[in-house]
Structure 1
């Protein structure tokens, strides 16, 4: 719930990041489960969730309902409780069908009525990215990203036909979104159909969707990883930038983008703020997501299968010479220690009994048994 003074409400976009931090540091998932249930209960007549719930006044931020679907996917991966996931699937399908019903004759997604907030970018009015008659690159790629998660959820709960339908809708939207938003001269996806506006947000969601071809991804990366004039992510959406930098293998830039956090103590703060100054909230828990990224991105500990039944370890230390940490797992704990030595990295891993994993080093995959493993890999 954000925050103790200003909002005192639970918002979906905020909650997703807070729950990811929770999964990394505690096995107690009662609050994440309750959040998923309450948002599921908030759905309005068109099928999408409310932006915050419970609340005396109804507020609709349509993109936040897609983040709720992502929360269900997160739970399916980080916790071993497929029955609970199955119970959420009617709500997931309701949200996704509502979005698919808002496609134009051409096939692009047109924003659902409401506050189509994405991030507190100063050049965006009320946090809403630029659109052309309600059609936005940010929101189309957000939908594509979520369609991919929906397909994976349907596979996980044993509904291959519904997974295929989600994948078909994803592929159709990828085709038309690529055609209409890709700007060949700049090597970027535009925020609007007139190609006047460009943001980190659209590039991040496109890459995280897993639906951008290799050549386009390289061109986007060449801009995203250098000083640029794109509309930049702020504290909240930096989570998705950090996820993208992980995909691109540029976690060194995560440490360089933490200025908004480094300044907190110098300003006398002990909690994370909502957005860069002037901020309206001095205590906004969505800014805790670097805790998640320490474990899941720098140390690289993530689920490799639903229920966390397999573990993926892909260390990317960025500019750090050494890092170690222990992440909670449904069956115990996963501990990783990485230490740079010249052009090599010493990696020590401890997995719970009965849980196997994979260590990623460049293009090489090293199977890891349960218990203790020590490996030396190239420093890439």
Structure 2
């Protein structure tokens, strides 16, 4: 176990151990005779923390982990300390209810502050209390993925983080709980700490009066806001003369007191200019008793922020204290572009200096560069990279707005793009490890990680193995590959032992969501609904077995790279048997296509995804592949089309004939991703339907839709690794789309720079690559 926390103890407030949604404040005072510039704070918590030293915010954010395998942070806090009296303050939050990024553990906080002069440890010298400002206990769930909403009463904020604050009788000595050896698997946060950055600028774009006809006791704030009646007013009828319509503002935005009416008040809609992710922050001058309800969202399709939709709640309540006040909610990130404030209960004074998000980012900079003659594609690449960055925090996230959850299919797309634009390898490795810790007894992964969910998606488990092999190929990290190979072996041994005539039967119980794409007949419709009993009949799914074949081949390449050649041959042989069985069982010679499903009572279903997977997995014989690729490229085949994210497989299948289909693939990217830009997107959507998808709960920032990045770098620039870490790489640019392109690809050895153009004499290529890397020449085969 990590030495810094050896003699510290877990502690909590003694009277509230069994309650979920707890906010507990801890205060630890100590004195120093000298400065302690090298001081380090080791800290871990279930579930989130924020730290102040001598009244100054220092850091926040627990790494998402498992209850029996805890991560800790090491915070350099020397600059915050001083001679004489010092105070360490921690706000600790305990969720206590499972969600898609959290597994219920025991509430607790542990820390060690190491200095040359002395060591400060959690335990009986710390005092704590339940926060009088935050509402602890039962509150509405925001989403199943995010957990609880929150409410805050600033009149209960008594300056407890101030170094000169005097504790009252409400403060009690913290109650010591478990010893540190209750966690046998301590580890330091495997990725860099998030950076809390500047406030996002916001502009007032709509305002008026709202009427609230009814708010019953216990009503959900988000639902109340959604029902409020809105009546637009010009800003000059609401805002006092001289008030700023852009925030933050030193002069503030002052609202005329006569604008406030009983059973309602004033609403403001603020635009942060583009999709943002960070901590809610308010700065205002108000009166005790004023209530601000705040909704956040990604669009204004309803001419208001959609605060509540299909049981999902994106709003909170802030009760003002008296006078000037600033509030930042460090316990959960919000994401979106717009905030809507419903302000009520004002008698005389309300001035808003800021409302918006304080940006929170994973510290990574774009290292890749892509340049082409087409401005639309340049803009798509830039927005795609930003979309990826917005979906990176403790781990990859599907969407920072609605879920913040780590899914295997999503993260595979994100990692594949991130290798090119960020050259970041530790981050995907850490996400991969979280998945591995979530391996279930049936040898499928949990749906998300870390989490305990009622069902999982089998195909995502197989694409995770593909993701592992791709991480080895791009990073050259054999240590990570070897660490995961045992998990891969368990998975493959279990599933290949269940093959029937070379095929894996589709798992039929309600514990499995047989999802393949957000498309008709592929989304496992009904599997997530309450009361679902599972499949009625025995069934075999082509997509599941195609993903299995890909996983087997990926496992073979990993094993070969790790010098387990016997296992590699076994995986390759089994993959060939599965592929042969897929072609035999699902190929329809009359339709000249692969059926999606086989089984009693199954209707004929043909999908672009199924054909694409068959081509990518090399299931389709070469004599048939050209014709299948031709039909896949056409518009009249009648097959169910792929969605944005799963277009990755279609594009890769077509680009096996790059000069023939390059224009089609890049034209489709221009049409579909350009469509989002023309609709005002500042990040790319979950599906082409945008906000209207999923019963008006579609995400407008989804990491898996950043896939154009991969095709710009891997196909237009044409640089792809052949052996781990780009030790051997190929350069094969697609030349049928642009007459020239240039860029830079980060690798573990350094940057590969490439510039090419078409001339009268053919292709002119300029290439620079770092020592230790070799370009593969035509006809050569890689050893990996």
- Length-normalised TM-score, structure 2: 0.44
Partner of 2:485: 89
> Aligned pair 1:274/2:686, yes or no?
yes
In the aligned structure 2, how far is the partner of 1:112 from the partner of 1:264? 36
Distance 1:123 1:180, change over 3 A: closer
Greater strand share, structure number: 2
Matches within 5 A, 1:200-349: 200-227=608-635, 228-249=637-658, 250-258=661-669, 259-277=671-689, 278-279=692-693, 280-342=698-760, 344-349=762-767
The residue aligned with 2:447 is 51
User: SS where residue 707 of structure 2 aligns?
Assistant: helix
Number of the residue aligned with 1:122: 520
Give how far 1:178 is off: 1.3
Count of residues paired in the alignment:
363
The equivalent position to 2:558 in structure 1, one of 153, 164, 179, is 153
Q: Are residues 180 and 128 of structure 1, via their aligned partners in 2, closer, same or farther at CA, if it must alter by over 3 Å?
A: farther
Greater RCO structure (CA 8 Å; 6+ sep)? 1
Q: Tell me: CA distance 1:260–1:132, structure 2 relative to 1, closer, same or farther (3 Å).
A: farther
TM superposition shift of 1:164 = 1.5
Aligned with residue 419 of structure 2, among 2, 19, 23: 23
Q: Identify which range, 322-331 or 180-189, moves more after superposition.
A: 180-189
Secondary structure of residue in 1 paired with 2:776: strand
Shift of 1:337: 1.4
Deviations 1:110-145 (A, max 9, x none): 123411111111354546999983211121222112
**Do the aligned residues in 1 keep the contact of 2:715 with 2:734 (CA within 8 Å)?**
yes
Deviation of 1:56 (Å): 5.5
Aligned: 1:4 with 2:392: no
For 1:84 and 1:284, the matched residues in 2 are separated by 27
In the other structure, the counterpart of 2:573 is 168
Q: 1:49 to 1:125 in 2, by over 3 A?
A: closer
The partner residue of 1:107 within 496, 499, 502 is: 502
Verify the 8 A CA contact 1:49 1:95 in the aligned structure 2: no
**Secondary structure of the structure 2 residue equivalent to 1:122:** coil
Tell me, in whole angstroms, the C-alpha distance in 2 between the residues paired with 1:75 and 1:350: 23
Which protein has the bigger helix share?
1
Asked whether the 8 Å contact 2:718–2:731 carries over to 1, the reply is yes
Work out which of the residue numbers 357, 369, 378 in structure 1 matches 2:775. 357
- 2:616 equivalent to 1:198: no
Structure 1 CA distance, aligned partners of 2:423 and 2:502?
A: 42
Query: How big is the alpha-carbon RMSD for the aligned residues of Structure 1 and Structure 2?
Result: 2.4
Indicate whether 1:62 and 2:480 are aligned.
no
Q: Are the counterparts in 2 of residues 40 and 91 from structure 1 also a CA contact under 8 Å? A: yes
**Structure 1 CA distance for aligned equivalents of residues 464 and 526 of structure 2:** 19
The answer to whether the 8 A contact 1:181-1:195 is kept is no
Distance in 1 of aligned mates of 2:468 and 2:740: 33
Structure 1 position 269, deviation (Å): 1.4
What do the CA deviations read for 1:274-297 (whole angstroms, capped 9, x no partner)? 012133111101111111110012
User: Which entry has the higher C-alpha Rg, 1 or 2?
Assistant: 2
Query: Secondary structure of 1:44's match?
Result: coil
Q: Which runs of 5+ in 2 are unaligned?
A: 1-396, 528-534
Q: Deviations over 1:154-175 (max 9, x none)?
A: 1111111111211221122222
Matches of 1:270 and 1:356, distance apart in 2: 38
* TM-aligned CA distance change 1:182 to 1:284, over 3 Å: same
Q: In structure 2, what is the Cα distance between the partners aligned to 1:233 and 1:98? A: 30
Q: SS where residue 219 of structure 1 aligns?
A: helix
